[in-house]
Each structure stands twice: as structure tokens, then as C-alpha cells.
Amino acid sequence: MVQCALPIEARSVAARLRRCRRGSLGLFQAWEGLIGRVPVLVVVSGMGTSEAAIAASEVIRMFEPYGLIDFGAAGALSETWAIGKCALISCAAAYQSPRLFPQPNPSAPRPAVAEAWSDDDWLKVGQEVLRLPLVKVGCADAPVTNLHLARYLATAYGFDWVDCESHSVLNVAGGQGVRAVGLRVVSDHCGPNAPQQFEENARRALRNAAKLLDNYVRALHQAGLLEPRPT
């Protein structure tokens, strides 16, 4: 299963599916089809932490998938990450956005956060076969359009990117014993220009990321990791 927050993200994946059919799962838009010989369900949760958690819970309950990929766009906290760069999420952390941003202190202890982790075996395939880097992502319900907040999140928490949904998806999947991984692409750099950058770059970045997702699913299948876990 592939879960996306936005229709633009899901449509980029659906365009890669063979025998693709569009439908719905209650309130959620959905597509189904094949990547290679692998049946794939693509679901749009809606943007936000709660929406992502509800969608993941419902789809896991209804379909009992062998695995779940959290796919979509992300904002990079540093311009050292180029727009269009793809990475796997090793860890996603839910943070509370502070009202005031203290002066960043790299030597200070990092604030406590709730963390969720991608499946180690799936990460290994992405690294070894597709040479994908790993990133740590911070998750909250609001995009980061303040440069001071972006610097604070990078320094105080050690985040590379931010999005809204990855922690919820990985947390729900982990709690249900379902393999999961986040695969995201940089659509913008966090700051006041982020919304405009998203509009300008998201479609192309997501289209290229969906090609990578296609290869990733095939690699996972070849590695025997799209099957029930051994008991």
C-alpha cells in the first residue's frame, strides 16, 4: 500500500500503475493497479497528522497489507538538499512548534520527541539497490515557513526535512506490526518562499520520485520483502 496526503502525490504514483483503476474507500480517494507483478493500493489521506493516522489505521484494518510506503513531498530545512532530491526516512519525530525560538545551541541536549522508525530491512534495500540517503524528518500539522523555526528544528532536533504525516503513518504501521517506510522528495526549502516553491516544483519532483518508487517496489519484491513476516 502507498499512502499519500495530497491528490497530486497520489496521481503521480497512479500514473505508474498498470491496469490502474480509480475508486474510493469511504472518504478516501484511492487507486489500485500493479507495479510489475505487485498489487498496489494508493490512498489519499488528506493533509495532517490525524488524517494520516486515521487513513493508515483504516486501510491496515481493511486490507491487512504486507507493507506500507508513506510517499510524498517534504520541505528541506537546509538548501544543501536540492529540490527534487529523494530519500528514505529512517526516523520521523512528532514535535511541538515552540512559541519562541531559543538561540540554537548545537551542544545542548535535544528536546524529547515521539519517534517512529522505518523498517530496517526495507531501508537496507533502498540504500543498497537504489543508493538512497536516509533522513530524519520532523512532523507537525503546519508547514515551516519561518526561517528561524527552520534553523531551530535543524539545530535543536537534528531534523533534515519536515512534513506533516510521516510520523503518524510509521507509528500506526509499527503498532500494527506492518512493515513501513517513508519515501519523500524535496519540493521546497522551508521559509517564506516555500509555498511558491511547492507550486513551481512539486509536480515535476513527484513525477520523478514516483519513478523511483516504482523501482523500489520492484526491488522489495525481488528481495522477498513484500510477503508476510516469518512467524
pLDDT tens digit string along 92-119?
A: 999 987 665 666 666 666 677 899 999 9
Average pLDDT for residues 124-144, to the nearest whole number?
95
How sure is the predictor about 27, in pLDDT bands with cuts at 50, 70 and 90? confident
Residue 25 predicted with pLDDT over 90: no
Residue 228 predicted with pLDDT over 80: no
Q: Provide the pLDDT for residue 156.
A: 87
Average pLDDT for residues 59-79, to the nearest whole number?
95
Reference 198, options 159, 144, 125; nearest CA is 144
Enumerate the domain spans of the chain. 70-222
Architecture field, domain 70-222: 3-Layer(aba) Sandwich (3.40)
Q: Write out the DSSP string of the chain.
A: -EEESSHHHHHHHHTT-EEEEEEEETTEEEEEEEETTEEEEEEE--SSHHHHHHHHHHHHHHH--SEEEEEEEEEESSTTSPTT-EEEEEEEEE-PPPSS-PPP-TTSPPPP-EEEE--HHHHHHHHHHH---EEEEEE-SS----HHHHHHIIIII--SEEESSHHHHHHHHHHTT-EEEEEEEEEEESSTTHHHHHHHHHHHHHHHHHHHHHHHHHHHHHTT-SSPPP-
